[in-house]
Structure 1
Amino acid sequence: MTTTLITGGTVVSATGRAPADVLIDGEKIRAVLAPGSTLLGHDLTASVDTVVDATGKYVIPGGIDAHTHMELPFGGTAASDTFETGTRAAAWGGTTTIIDFAVQKYGERVQDGLAAWHAKAAGNCAIDYGFHQIIGGVDDDSLSAMRGLLDEGVSSFKLFMAYPGVFYSDDAQILKAMQVSRDTGLLTMMHAENGPAIDVLAQQLVDAGKTDPYYHGIARAWQMEEEATHRAIMLADLTGAPLYVVHVSAKQAVEQLAGARDRGQNVFGETCPQYLYLSLEEQLGAPGFEGAKWVCSTPLRSRAEGHQNAMWQALRTNDLQMVSTDHCPFCMKDQKELGLGDFRKIPNGIGSVEHRMDLMYQGVVTGEITLERWVELTSTTPARMFGLYGTKGVIQPGADGDVVVYDPNGHTSIGYDKTHHMNMDHSAWEGFEIDGHVDTVIARGRVIVDGGRYLGSKGDGRYVKRGLSQYLI
């Protein structure tokens, strides 16, 4: 087995930082040592296969993006990143594990949906991967099948309060699914927007000739997110189910989550980089059809109303627990352009899986979050929330050798022709400058990115079975 020693760096965890060397033996971390230590009397630098010099740099657990959509069918097309291209891009950006979503639609079997996503991913991923299960058709058969998900290493499922006719679940269906959540410990993940009301508003806007991408954000008003978040919280409270609200973008939705948590309810939430940095006015409101690049749901919110600042604050106060990407990329040509003349037909999603670690590190630079909180939000909490901790999300003996060496004195310019490896014809982050750089990425003991070179290969990643969330009470 190959041995790797990372020397001279500062190991950063969710609880602190300290100078330390990290020894990886095969696929696992063998030891975290005082700088320059020997092991059994041997000089490690002379006895290992590979030495990574991390002097002046941070050594952190590999990033875990717990919300991605590779190859997701949507709006008459499919997400442009395959599991091969998307996980390779993730590796470039310091993410060593993703959790994607297997899809079951109305009239389909849950088991068949999970099997289909296994077939898409197997042998194609550059990094390790797991699955959540989308339940797009809640009926007696799917409710029964959900009880077997944990045996497959799937400990969470997603419901939609949006997209009537596609994934939408009504309150009665949500209630039944949450009862299974309560009984099994499966974590209910919720897309919280009032879909039927949004559809009415969207139709009225189109009828009035308001068809530009900007109006996607107007139709999906913050009230629609707050109302649905409140409703999901109440249904979870009634059933006793744990609840995790995905891609929170409105400050009023955060207030609903914070209130529930203050009452002792088992409720959690994530936000995404786009809701920290981008806005309704600047991106969705770009001239012409340009705003289509940033059409996603929940939508970008108004900077004038303070939503972005509220998201950062919620991350500091732990009213939101983690940051994922909701990576669901579409090219402008032949995909986003399906919505020319009607914003309702623009495929919803942007690409960020390559940039999450950098974008969140910039929050450290600007003083929004601490260095330790950066690691917690992007790696440790995702591992704990979704049943991977101990193997993932931490640098300690016995954990997988998923390690990133990050240079705080480096620089990253984000753009389509710069740091961009996603399968897209544009970048949603064009022109962003990051005061830091991913230098080396090690996945299960193998160096896959180093010095601006990609050293990994298709099929390096493995499916990881997940246990129950450590946050359940």
Structure 2
Amino acid sequence: MKTLITGGTVVNATGRSRADVLVDGETVAALVDPGSTALAADLAAGVDRVIDATGKYVVPGGIDAHTHMEMPFGGTYASDTFETGTVAAAWGGTTTIIDFVVQYPDQNVLDQYHRWHEKAAGRCAVDYGFHQILSDVQDDSLVAMDELVAEGVTSFKLFTAYKGVFLSDDGQIFRAFQKGAENGALMMVHAENGSVIDVLQQQAVAAGHTTPFYHGTTRPWQAEEEATHRAIMLADLAGVPLYVVHVSAKQAVEQIAAARDRGKNVFGEACPQYLYLSLEEQLAARSEEWGDLEGAKWVCSTPLRARAEGHQDAMWQALRTNDLQLVSTDHCPFCMRGQKELGRDDFTKIPNGIGSVEHRMDLIYQGVVDGRISLERWVETCSVTPARMFGMYGRKGVVQPGADADIVVYDPAGRTSIGLEATHHMNMDYSAWEGFEVDGHVDTVLLRGEVVVADGAFHGRPGNGRFVRRDLSQYLI
């Protein structure tokens, strides 16, 4: 099938231009100057479908490089399946996700990788890739890293927090970093000092401080900055590129920026919650139904930071200046009923996570409207850089001939109201973004040339998403 998208403004990271986009089958066939009337007329005569994008932006489909579908955590599972989560992603203009394969200490790395394929295969409504979590780095883990790189899984995540669950000691992290330096993988780290956090949490609970607010105060910015610096030093010693996930503290950004100023391949990820939400709102959160537990809706790790300390503005600035390179969600949703309420009497038992996969493109576009970032930077951080960072660029992350026709027609004159459970498509019984208004709207979404969202309806199908075998990172200095 041939599709012609007419009248729109094509936006890539390098700029914007008026162009019609011809899609032939699953790929972009041509970008056509609309002033070439004869050529445009010839193209229009040979197409099966015309999409009118007049007054709208035509941008590459979003890539959310940090999701956790069906993730086991805290005695329960993330509430979005690969089916529900990827349908929600499509509604929000995201056409590719990269999910994390979870390995706990008693599990085999490759066995877990195959389990994730079984979970996702035939269920995803958008394309998907995998990162691999390593929680217990042994000799067989290092062998598995080579095998996974050959499979197109070219990034690995380690933790400096969650003792007995995910935490690896410095020696284990360093060995994995060394292997990454050998096989070209991009190494990722959840950077918080878990030992300090464990002490602070035990002390808080002993003192009777059990409400969700104390989740944030017992994971202070110092614990994030210290672990970020430590990971940077270990990566430098191993000679491997480092990607710090879900950066929330301005002091951690400073560590990343300082390393980059020294010419190091160190990168950082922003998330919508750290750009918009704060510890103060979490403290004030109460409801008739949940009381103080209302604040559990915003329990995530790294935690929300104090607005009074300027963390949110610092995150936007870092995104603008490229001290943070891209925006992912860390989408790890849990319902209040039966999940978040597990921590009613003890905040340490609240499953950590916020659901945002449906809202990322809209929320970051609002930054364009508010003058925080440019239109091109929006596309760069939400689509282009994730593709480059994680070895998909050329196929994904760009509207150009030969690329997959993953395309979003975005209406700057539209409006998106983010509200209650009934108005979103994620498998959650609340929204962390209730009440947010966005001056823009996802109009039409194409996945490899097939219209999956249009006219306020979902036209895709679970199982249409394909596994993306990724190359090595294309973002290195």
What's the TM-score once normalised by structure 2's chain length?
0.98
Partners in 1 of 2:170 and 2:399 — Cα distance?
A: 42
Match of 2:114 in 1: 115
1:327, distance to aligned residue in structure 2 (A): 0.1
1:123-134 residue pairs with structure 2 within 5 A?
A: 123-134=122-133
Match of 2:289 in 1: none
Match of 1:352 in 2: 356
Match of 2:414 in 1: 410
Partners in 2 of 1:41 and 1:291 — Cα distance?
A: 55
Partners in 2 of 1:48 and 1:134 — Cα distance?
A: 45
Number of paired residues?
A: 472
| 1:365 equivalenced with 2:364 (yes/no) | no
Q: For residue 348 of structure 1, what is the amino acid of its counterpart?
A: N
Query: Residues 317 and 40 from structure 1, CA distance in 2 versus in 1: closer, same or farther, beyond 3 angstroms?
Result: closer
Match of 1:230 in 2: 229
Q: Is the 8 Å Cα contact of residues 34 and 40 (structure 2) preserved in structure 1?
A: no
Q: For residue 35 of structure 1, what is the amino acid of its counterpart?
A: P
Q: Is the 8 Å Cα contact of residues 128 and 463 (structure 1) preserved in structure 2?
A: yes
Query: Residues 284 and 132 from structure 1, CA distance in 2 versus in 1: closer, same or farther, beyond 3 angstroms?
Result: farther
1:49-448 residue pairs with structure 2 within 5 A?
A: 49-287=48-286, 288-417=292-421, 419-448=423-452
Q: Is the 8 Å Cα contact of residues 38 and 44 (structure 1) preserved in structure 2?
A: no
Which sections of structure 1, spanning at least 5 residues, go unmatched?
none
Partners in 1 of 2:111 and 2:420 — Cα distance?
A: 36
Q: Is the 8 Å Cα contact of residues 269 and 328 (structure 2) preserved in structure 1?
A: yes
1:284, distance to aligned residue in structure 2 (A): 4.7
1:46, distance to aligned residue in structure 2 (A): 2.6
Q: What SS does structure 2 have at the residue aligned with 1:196?
A: helix
Q: Deviation per CA, 1:92-143, whole angstroms, max 9, x where unpaired?
A: 0000000001112213211101000000000000000000000111111111
Query: Residues 416 and 459 from structure 1, CA distance in 2 versus in 1: closer, same or farther, beyond 3 angstroms?
Result: same
Q: Is the 8 Å Cα contact of residues 284 and 300 (structure 1) preserved in structure 2?
A: no
1:320, distance to aligned residue in structure 2 (A): 0.3
Partners in 2 of 1:144 and 1:261 — Cα distance?
A: 30
Partners in 2 of 1:39 and 1:141 — Cα distance?
A: 62
Q: For residue 470 of structure 2, what is the amino acid of its counterpart?
A: R
1:44, distance to aligned residue in structure 2 (A): 2.0
Q: Is the 8 Å Cα contact of residues 3 and 25 (structure 1) preserved in structure 2?
A: yes
Partners in 2 of 1:333 and 1:145 — Cα distance?
A: 38
Query: Residues 75 and 17 from structure 1, CA distance in 2 versus in 1: closer, same or farther, beyond 3 angstroms?
Result: same
Partners in 2 of 1:411 and 1:284 — Cα distance?
A: 29
Q: What SS does structure 2 have at the residue aligned with 1:289?
A: helix
1:47, distance to aligned residue in structure 2 (A): 1.8
1:45, distance to aligned residue in structure 2 (A): 2.0
Q: What SS does structure 2 have at the residue aligned with 1:383?
A: helix
Q: Deviation per CA, 1:300-345, whole angstroms, max 9, x where unpaired?
A: 0000000000000000110000000000000000000000110000
RMSD across aligned C-alpha pairs, in angstroms? 1.1
Partners in 1 of 2:404 and 2:378 — Cα distance?
A: 20
Q: Is the 8 Å Cα contact of residues 84 and 427 (structure 2) preserved in structure 1?
A: yes
Query: Residues 8 and 285 from structure 1, CA distance in 2 versus in 1: closer, same or farther, beyond 3 angstroms?
Result: same
Partners in 2 of 1:304 and 1:455 — Cα distance?
A: 44
Q: Is the 8 Å Cα contact of residues 213 and 285 (structure 1) preserved in structure 2?
A: no
Which sections of structure 2, spanning at least 5 residues, go unmatched?
287-291
Query: Residues 21 and 40 from structure 1, CA distance in 2 versus in 1: closer, same or farther, beyond 3 angstroms?
Result: closer
Query: Residues 361 and 186 from structure 1, CA distance in 2 versus in 1: closer, same or farther, beyond 3 angstroms?
Result: same
Q: Is the 8 Å Cα contact of residues 284 and 292 (structure 1) preserved in structure 2?
A: no
Partners in 1 of 2:35 and 2:124 — Cα distance?
A: 35
Q: For residue 457 of structure 1, what is the amino acid of its counterpart?
A: R
1:39, distance to aligned residue in structure 2 (A): 8.1
